[in-house]
């Protein structure tokens, strides 16, 4: 049976998941899992790209060990981060992570050159201090010698694909997150690059999901003992996750729930109106030139950090159970505030916020967890209200997918506070979307509509009612 390998790398871990189709249903099998994370090198928080590639290779070898060699492979990761290569294709400096504080104040520097409303009109991308454009501006201001030496700009999955194939391309969904791609022309915006003084020749041709990059480098084929094709999925993990929505209509809101929560709708055109900018919605590229009109919310990062601050004494399931014991705890924090991006201590930051806003301060673990989940639900509610205001219509339902959709307490809270029917699933949305893109590239599935129908029939979907 032909199978396809999705390598899905998130901020804390990565997985190799094999997908195949049997009797009209998609089957998934996790082959290999590895850790990921940022660490401090000197004064910078960085990704260990060398270790990531070692783990990618280990997982591929694992496929051969179990006798399930994929016909193709696709890699997806988080967005905005990148590497720069010199004339010998060697990395210049570190792969600095978006949570590093080097971009502090860079948005304001950019707006002195390009007014904020014009930047939004050009790109349609929401303003986040860690966007690629502000990372590049930081390098230009503080380490100009790095940009002077740079010959190639590759985002993290682009670089991993380069290591596999020797091909240099920038994939569309991830490139759109840089705030350097013109949302209407779908190419690098030369006007922005010129005005910000970032040289244009380091950027590669933008390629769409489903593009076949060809086979492995010869030395890797020899190392693995087999060859396979490398196909671009939506390399931005959220782009892959949105493919897996089981709602294929205009009355549904999509919510990808993981370390980040991304809530919005799917469009055929970008929405760059002042109202969208005011609410800080983004128009990220999707498969088949669809636009993911969404809002980026801090997400489960908050409870992940709470768990870490508690020395990982509790599983996420236990935190949910403890929260249920304090279901009436009503204090709410603005999880989307910059102060929760990377605080020294998330638990103390939550308590301090409650003090500053004259709310009851959570003390017990269950109260802290309930505060986080309730805050997330109300943040989603605000985004839903903004969407309905912009589109001047009521949406009927929310489809929440990704790892966070397993949190039934959060699902119940979201359905209750938004008043919407909520469909939870599929859990492995990103890996499924990655695999489906490979299948569409090979004409196993003819289009996105067929793919979503197959996904709906392949995985369990839970339904939560608001009343």
Q: Which helix (H) or strand (E) holds 33?
A: strand 25-35
The span from the CA of 371 to the CA of 305, in Å, is 14
What is the DSSP pairing of strand 95-96 with strand 44-47? Answer: antiparallel
The span from the CA of 125 to the CA of 370, in Å, is 32
**Strands (E) located in 122-222:** 152-155, 170-171, 206-207, 212-215
Q: Which position among 117, 237, 328, 447 bears the catalytic label?
A: 237
* Residue 232 near residue 240 (C-beta atoms within 8 A): no
Maximum alpha-carbon separation in the chain: 64
The span from the CA of 7 to the CA of 70, in Å, is 12
**Beta bridge partner(s), residue 297:** 261
Give the rounded distance of the alpha carbon of 50 from its chain centre. Answer: 21
Question: Is 237 one of the catalytic residues?
Answer: yes
**Block residue for tokens 């088949």:** 288
The span from the CA of 391 to the CA of 186, in Å, is 23
Nearest to 265 by CA among 288, 282, 240, 289: 282
Residues with Cβ within 8 Å of residue 344, at least 6 apart in sequence: none
Neighbours of 59 (CB within 10 A): 22
Q: What is the crossing angle of helices 448-458 and 429-441, to 10°?
A: 140
Q: What is the DSSP letter of 376?
A: H
Tokens of 10: 């998130």
Give the rounded distance of the alpha carbon of 234 from its chain centre. Answer: 10
Catalytic residues: 237
């Amino acid at each position: 049976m032909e199978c396809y390998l999705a390598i899905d790398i998130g901020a804390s871990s990565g997985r190799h998941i094999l997908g195949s189709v049997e009797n009209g249903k998609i089957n998934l099998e996790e082959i290999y899992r590895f850790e990921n994370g940022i660490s401090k090198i000197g004064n910078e928080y960085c990704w260990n790209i060398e270790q990531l590639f070692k783990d990618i290779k280990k997982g591929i070898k694992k496929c051969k060990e179990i006798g399930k060699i994929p016909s193709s492979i696709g890699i997806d990761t988080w967005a905005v981060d990148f590497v720069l290569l010199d004339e010998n294709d060697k990395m210049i400096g570190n792969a600095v992570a978006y949570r590093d504080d080097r971009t502090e104040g860079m948005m304001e520097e950019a707006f002195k050159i390009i007014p904020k409303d014009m930047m939004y009109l050009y790109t349609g991308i929401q303003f986040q201090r860690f966007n690629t454009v502000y990372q590049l501006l930081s390098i230009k201001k503080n380490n100009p010698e790095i940009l002077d030496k740079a010959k190639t700009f590759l985002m993290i999955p682009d670089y991993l694909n380069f290591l596999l194939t020797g091909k240099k391309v920038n994939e569309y969904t991830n490139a759109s997150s840089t705030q350097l791609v013109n949302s209407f022309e779908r190419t690098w915006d030369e006007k922005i690059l010129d005005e910000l003084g970032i040289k244009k020749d380091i950027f590669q041709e933008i390629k769409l999901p489903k593009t076949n990059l060809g086979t492995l480098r010869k030395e890797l084929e020899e190392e693995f003992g087999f060859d396979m094709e490398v196909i671009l999925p939506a390399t931005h993990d959220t782009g892959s996750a949105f493919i897996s929505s089981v709602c294929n209509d205009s009355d549904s809101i999509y919510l990808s729930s993981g370390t980040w929560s991304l809530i919005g709708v799917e469009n055929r055109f970008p929405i760059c109106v002042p109202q969208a900018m005011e609410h800080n919605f983004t128009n990220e590229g999707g498969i088949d030139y669809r636009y993911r009109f969404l809002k980026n919310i801090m997400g489960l990062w908050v409870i992940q950090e709470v768990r870490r601050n508690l020395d990982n004494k509790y599983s996420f399931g236990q935190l949910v159970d403890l929260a249920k014991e304090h279901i009436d705890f009503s204090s709410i924090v603005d999880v989307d505030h910059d102060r929760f991006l990377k605080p020294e201590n998330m638990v103390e930051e939550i308590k301090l916020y409650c003090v500053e806003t004259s709310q009851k301060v959570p003390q017990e673990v269950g109260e802290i967890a309930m505060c986080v989940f309730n805050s997330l639900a109300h943040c989603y509610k605000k985004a839903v209200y903004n969407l309905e205001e912009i589109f001047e219509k009521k949406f009927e339902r929310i489809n929440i997918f990704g790892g966070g959709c397993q949190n039934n307490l959060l699902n119940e809270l979201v359905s209750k506070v938004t008043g919407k029917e909520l469909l939870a699933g599929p859990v492995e949305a990103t890996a499924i979307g990655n695999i489906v893109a490979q299948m569409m590239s090979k004409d196993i599935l003819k289009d996105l509509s067929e793919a979503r129908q197959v996904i709906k029939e392949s995985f369990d979907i839970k339904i939560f009612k608001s009343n």
